[in-house]
Amino acid sequence: MINLSVNINKIATLRNARGGALPDILQFAKDCERFGANGITVHPRPDERHITTHDIYDLAPIVQTEFNIEGYPDERYMQIIKDVLPMQATLVPDPPGVLTSDNGWDIAKNKKQLIETIQELQSLGVRSSIFVNADIESMHLAHDVKADAIELYTGPFANDFHKDPEMAVANYVSAAEIANKLGLRINAGHDLSLQNLNYFKNQVKFLSEVSIGHAIVSDALYLGIEAAIAAYKKCLS
């Protein structure tokens, strides 16, 4: 079984649009776990347009499965990681102001920063994961900086899936094979959905985890979150 981590940023976006505490982020996280999610993912951006720093500290004692905190490894993010000690920290190359993660790390250009950050995470006992494009060079560079895991950026796959599924997934198949040989844990995320997830999972071997937020919350508008989680878990089984 490939683990499903539910990204709850969109629930925070809905709450923040109106103010107050509805929907309840903490209860939603608890319910996701109760309905079968293997983890909870959050991405606390500096502008706090969805998950806030306060949310992170409230969620930390609540989450009983894997807590995965995504973010750009600046001083603020690293302080959160030190305080909360999540099971996994996923490093993304988003500077402030970016709408959503839309590219993997240029690892060669940021090698020194990534090495130092990953060493710090490992000293804290936090699994390090870096957001990468699905190319063979990135797999080798992720290994060079001593990352524990990679998260394959699946946006290009999702964009091209309906045109030519085999072509869309080809780079991911090759990248995952190399990553596995190098001993990297393989995660994936961005625009994976009920329409493309089963195909991706069947083609890309050695997956450990997928992180899904926007699609699963959108599906929950029609199905309810319990049924939506069940549908995604079925895809991954």
| AA letter at 112 | K
- The rounded distance, in Å, linking the Cα atoms of 4 and 176 is 18
Cα distances (angstroms) measured from residue 85 to each of 20, 40, 78, 82, 161: 27, 14, 10, 6, 36
**Tokens standing for 17?**
């649009």
Decide if 43 is catalytic: yes
Annotated catalytic residue, options 43, 50, 66, 151:
43
Backbone angles phi, psi at 127, to 5 degrees: -65, 130
- Report which DSSP code applies to 60: T
- Which contiguous run of DSSP H or E holds residue 14? helix 9-18
Instruction: Tell me the C-alpha distance between 110 and 161, whole Å.
Output: 30
Of 33, 66, 190, 209, which one is the catalytic site residue?
190
Contact 166, 204 (CB under 8 A): no
Task: Please tell me which residue in 33, 50, 66, 70 is annotated as part of the active site.
Answer: 70
Q: Hey, which residues are catalytic here?
A: 43, 70, 190
